[in-house]
Amino acid sequence: MKELRGSIVPIVTPFADGQVDYDRLVGLIEWQIESGSHGISVTGTTGEPSSLTLEERKQVIQVACQAVAGRVPFVPGTGSVNHRETLELTRYAEKVGADAVLVIAPYYVRPSQEGLFRHFDAVAKSVEIPVILYNIPGRTGVNIEIDTVARLKEANPNIVGVKESNKDFEHINRLLHRMGREFLVYSGIELLCFPILAIGGAGFVSATGNLLPHKVAELYNRVQEGQWKEAQDLHYWLMPLNDAVFLEINPVPVKTILGLMGKIRPEVRLPLAPVSPENRAKLEALARQYGLIQ
C-alpha cells in the first residue's frame, strides 16, 4: 500500500461552457504534483460530485488517474447517496488504478448507525484497495460514530482511515485513542489541519490546497521534521485564506480564486451560483495579499 499521508488535495472539477474541462483538470493535477502535494483526490465535496452524471464521475476519475500516473497516491471520492452507485464507482476506481477510495456517508437520507455499517461494510468488501471513510455531518446530517468505525475496521482490514470534516475535536481525539494512531485520520476542516497532526493524524484533505499547494504541503512537512514553531506560524498564516474559501459554499470561492489566477474558468453548475460581487471583491483582495494574483 502506498503511504497515504500528508496533503491529499481535493481537486475542483473545472467546467467550460457547462462541460467538464478535462484539459484544465490535467493541468491542475500537474501543478499540484509539481508543487509538492502528497496525494490527489477528485470527485469529493470540492469536486461537485452531485452535479456530475455517473459517466462524468467515471471519466473524471479515469482522466485524473492517468494524469497522476502513479507519481503520488490517487484517492478519488466514490461515495453517493445511492448505495448501488457507490458500489459501481468504487469498483470502477479500483479497476482504473486508484490507490484508495474516499467514501462519504450517504447524505440526505440520514441512515442509522446500523445502516451506515451495512453500507460501508458492503463497499469495503466489494474491493481490495484501501477504503477511507468520509465523515462530514454538516453535509450528510449524520455522524459516523466511533463504535461504528471500530466495528467496520474489525470486519474489514482494508478500511484504513477516516476523513473527519467534523468540528468536534473531542470526537477526533477519542477516535484516535480508540483506533490507535496507525489508523489514518485526516482533517477535512481547514482550521484543524495542524491540530489533528499534533494529536497523531495522518494528514488532511484541504480545499485550500487547491490555491496554495506548496504551503499546505509544507505544513505537513514541517511537522514531520519536528519544526513545530514553524508549523504553528504557517497554520496561523494560512488562517485568513482558510476562512475565505468558505465565504460561500465550497467550492465557489476556491473556483473564483482559481479563475482570478487563470487556472480555470470559475464555472459551477446549478444549483450552485457564482460568488456575490461583494465576496468576489473580498476574495480578490485576499488573493493579492497572498501573492496569488498581481
Residue 234 in domain: yes
- What is the maximum span of the chain, computed from C-alpha positions, in angstroms? 53
Q: Is 237 a member of any domain?
A: yes
Dist. CA 101–CA 133, nearest whole Å: 8
Classify residue 225: in a domain, yes or no: yes
Does residue 272 belong to any structural domain of this protein? no
Residue 280 counted as domain residue: no
146-163 tens-digit pLDDT: 999 999 999 999 999 999
To the nearest 10 degrees (0 to 180), the angle between helices 228-244 and 277-289 is: 160
Distance separating alpha carbons of residues 67 and 54, to the nearest angstrom: 20
Looking at residue 196, its pLDDT comes to 97
What residues make up the domain containing 147?
6-245
Q: Check if the beta carbon of residue 123 is closer than 8 Å to that of residue 157.
A: no
Task: pLDDT band for 231, please (50, 70, 90 cuts).
Answer: very high
pLDDT at 99: 98
| Catalytic hit among 163, 215, 255, 263 | 163
Q: Per the domain annotation, does 264 fall within a domain?
A: no
Confidence of residue 42 (pLDDT cuts 50, 70, 90): very high
Evaluate whether residue 286 is within a structural domain. Answer: no
As a whole number of angstroms, the distance between CA 103 and CA 135 comes to 9
| Catalytic-residue membership of 134 | yes
* Cα gap 150→191, rounded to integer Å: 26
Domains of the chain: total: 1
What does the pLDDT look like over 58-92, one tens digit per residue?
A: 999 999 999 999 999 999 999 999 999 999 999 99
Q: How far apart are CA 144 and CA 82, in angstroms?
A: 17
Closest CA to 267 of 52, 6, 5, 19: 19
Say which of 92, 134, 186, 220 is annotated catalytic.
134
Q: What is the DSSP letter of 138?
A: H
- Please say if 236 is a catalytic residue: no
CATH number at residue 230: 3.20.20.70
**DSSP letter string, 180-193:** -TTSEEEE-SGGGH
Question: For the chain, what percentages of helix, strand and coil (3-state, to nearest 5) are there?
Answer: 50, 10, 35
Instruction: Provide mean pLDDT across the span 251-277.
Output: 97
39: which strand partners?
Answer: 8
pLDDT, one tens digit per residue, over 161-185 is 999 999 999 999 999 999 999 999 9
pTM over 0.75: yes
The answer to the question of residue 293 being in a domain is no
